[in-house]
Amino acid sequence: MSKQTNGVLTTDDFPMIQTLEWTDSGVRFIDQTKLPTEETYVTCKTYTQVADVIRNMVVRGAPAIGVAAAMGIALGVKNSKAENGGDLKQEFDQICDVIAKTRPTAVNLFWAIKRIRDKFEMLRVRPLAQIKQALIEEAQRMHAEDIATNQAMGRHGATLMPASGGVLTHCNAGALATCGYGTALGVIRAAVEQGKTIHVYADETRPFLQGSRLTAWELMKDGIPTTVISDNMAGAMMKQGKINAIVVGADRIAANGDVANKIGTYSVAVLAKEHGIPFYVAAPLSTVDFETPEGSGIPIEQRDGKEVTHIAGRQMVPDGVEVENPAFDVTPAKYVTAIVTESGIARAPYGESLRRLSSG
């Protein structure tokens, strides 16, 4: 349970969850595949191990994936035995390639690789030790910036939350999906800090159960009242008047405001429209992909069908049945009431408002 100061929660009251961090012995991750029953950590000592933990979803969530990628590349460069700039460049490209092939939808991965690459190119003529140190520092800076970005997003987004009522969220867009505080859950945390009385409805989010395993775990730690529902209950909860607003994260937002997020988000958005409930997306500007004009151009990751056929290792469908497992869907911009970013709130037409916010 969180501490309370004069009955109002503050940022310091929320226990910091260390989703990932740079350490002297490698990049350390909380193992999200083991939550909520086991809180264990894994330390990656090589960049290929970092690529594996991204692919296997030990770390997941677009902003966390981005910073994991940056730290993974910095780790690969740190471990390099290259003796000259040319060899290091060759190795650098190979490291970036391996990291880039882990998960295709979250654009933060590619944003982070580009940022580290730009830094590398800028420093190429420097001594190797300096390059190594600078990349580590850049990755650590991205980690710190991500937390500050989420807190800024929280301050903007909290103004959209009801003074009191139910807020539904899908998947996990919290501290575990970022370097701390969260995007959608950051908005909820900030609203609670402002004295709003929020009751969270967390979709369980089949097939990987990020809502029931991760969102509920985080919010329980914070003492924010939470009810887990299975995904197919969301419509009934809306009809019963239990949901006053919806806030979700995003893996990639096209230039026109179409939003790729965890599979099932689209259904929630359509239901929200039917019930006249505002549907908000909270995401840093690094999640906006201005080079992809609309949602149909966003690559959707297809994951192993076993995530659908099995729950906690137990087979739930007959042998040989065909299954599909797209990890994300695209919600057209017309269903999105507003997009909360660290620079402010964007409203339709998003083509203009997102560009305005990103150009400062």
Residues serving a catalytic function are 251
* 34: Cα separation from own chain's centroid: 18
Residues 6+ apart with CB under 8 A from 260: 105, 250, 251, 252, 253, 254, 295, 298, 300, 328, 329, 330, 331
Q: Count the residues of the shown chain that bind ligand MRU, applying the rule CB under 6 A.
A: 17
- Selected range binding ligand MRU among 8-16, 79-87, 112-120, 243-251, rule: CB under 6 A: 243-251
Q: Measure CA of the first residue to CA of the last residue in the chain; give whole Å.
A: 38
Give the residue with the Cβ less far from ligand MRU, 123 or 175: 175
262 binds ligand MRU (CB under 6 A): yes
Among 14, 35, 44, 60, binds ligand MRU (CB under 6 A): 60
CB 231 within 8 A of CB 168: no
Tell the smallest beta-carbon distance from residue 252 to ligand MRU (Å): 9
251 binds ligand MRU (CB under 6 A): yes
Closest CA to 323 of 175, 207, 167: 207
d(CA 212, CA 222) in angstroms, rounded, equals 15
d(CA 21, CA 240) in angstroms, rounded, equals 42
178 binds ligand MRU (CB under 6 A): yes
Angle between helices 62-79 and 47-55 (to 10 degrees): 160
212 binds ligand MRU (CB under 6 A): no
d(CA 234, CA 255) in angstroms, rounded, equals 29
CB 235 within 8 A of CB 271: yes
Site for ligand MRU in 314-353 (CB under 6 A): 327
157 binds ligand MRU (CB under 6 A): no
- Selected range binding ligand MRU among 9-17, 33-41, 93-101, 171-179, rule: CB under 6 A: 171-179
Binding mask 91-120 for ligand MRU (x = CB under 6 A): ---------------x--------------
Chain residues binding ligand MRU by CB under 6 A are 60-63, 106, 171, 173, 177-178, 183, 210, 249-251, 261-262, 327
